[in-house]
Amino acid sequence: MSGRRHDSRSDEDDVRVRPSRRGSRPRTRTRPAHADAVPGLVVAVDRGRMTVRVEGPDGGHVDVTSMRARELGKHGVVVGDQVRLVGDTSGRTDSLARIVSIEERTTSLRRTADDTDPTERIVVANADQLVIVTAVADPEPAWGFLDRCLVAAYAGGLQPLLCLTKTDLASPQPLLDRYAGLSIDAVPMSREAPLDPLLDRLAWRMSVFVGQSGVGKSTLVNRLVPDAFRATADVSKIGKGRHTSSSAVLFDLPAGGTVIDTPGIRSFGLAHVTADDVLAAFEEIAEAAVDCPPGCGHTTADPECALDAWAATGPAARQQQLAGLRVLLGAVGQLGPGY
């Protein structure tokens, strides 16, 4: 039989291996441990560059300009993130460090562009409370927007706080009545009102401020943090505020605690939120909802909702609480200019 004869004495050294076009170095998924990485807090994000606060050599804080390491993949970095850095963490001008890891987030304020967009966008991480700033007049309250902010707070694990501005122009009572059953804390404010009631609620906490443009959010931040220099503008002729703040930034309060000012926004998509996400923030109601049929939306349009019986058999406050909850549930999945 013709052909090359097999030599039984050959071994693996005689085998010819075709070299790879990309070289013979084997690929590996092993990532560097970065045992010397420095912990820090993201205080600002601007066009792919993050400002990260780290502890300086004298025990004070140093702000380090950083970029996200390629090994993080698609994991985004937002204000409030606890991260770890390698590289130049001196904070000197023109220095640049790399963010190599992001710690697990305890809370997250999330939104989508609209209710048809499945892509979640995390606005802020690890905040303790969401301060929802709204004017009682000029501009008029956007009820749907407020409902959605509250839903986002509950779904993200943040405690909501209503900050009602321009109370010198109108009464805040309609706003207070709308959410009375939910026991949501609220602070009426005006330009002349002292800041003490609000400062008491912000002390030693990380609070993120949200609000539509024109409600006085940046003006309020400038009062709380005199060196913040957040841009402000008057309400436009059509009754909507002009966008002034362009990025989320964290500021220290003189008496302790931090505030994060976010850009003025006109929409708060909730495509990522379900009715059960909202219920989870209310332990007693969530327990009662266990008896609801599958797919129950817990609204008045769900005739077999177990919450109706729960409210009817308890104290009168339950009826008010359920009414307030259903206001929020109505915001989940709703579309329209009011939202």
- Is 21 a domain residue? no
Q: Report the distance separating Cα 157 and Cα 68, nearest Å.
A: 26
Name beta bridge partners: 159: 129
* Same domain as 115, residue 63: no
Q: Report the distance separating Cα 144 and Cα 134, nearest Å.
A: 12
Residue-wise pLDDT for 247-290, tens only, equals 789 999 988 999 999 876 666 788 888 888 899 999 999 999 99
- Is 14 a domain residue? no
Q: What is the pTM of this model?
A: 0.82
More confident residue, 94 or 117: 94
Give the range of the structural domain holding residue 313, as residue numbers without chain letter: 275-329
- pLDDT at position 120: 81
- Is 85 a domain residue? yes
* Same domain as 247, residue 163: yes
* Same domain as 128, residue 237: yes
* Same domain as 238, residue 128: yes
More confident residue, 106 or 216: 106
- pLDDT at position 190: 87
Domain finish residue from 53, 77, 102: 102
CA 38 to chain CA centroid, Å, is 24
* Same domain as 124, residue 246: yes
- Is 338 a domain residue? no
Q: Using the structure block, give the residue that is written with the tokens 């549930």.
A: 329
* Same domain as 137, residue 229: yes
Q: Do the beta carbons of residue 244 and residue 264 sit within 8 Å?
A: yes
Domain finish residue from 102, 127, 143: 102
* Same domain as 186, residue 233: yes
Nearest CA to 335 among 158, 121, 117? 117
- Is 228 a domain residue? yes
Domain finish residue from 102, 119, 153: 102
Q: Do the beta carbons of residue 164 and residue 187 sit within 8 Å?
A: yes
Q: Quick check: helix, strand or coil at residue 263?
A: coil
Residue-wise pLDDT for 144-197, tens only, equals 999 999 999 999 999 999 999 999 999 999 999 999 999 899 999 988 889 999
* Same domain as 112, residue 253: yes
- Is 31 a domain residue? no
* Same domain as 187, residue 69: no
- pLDDT at position 22: 56
What total number of domains does the chain contain? 3
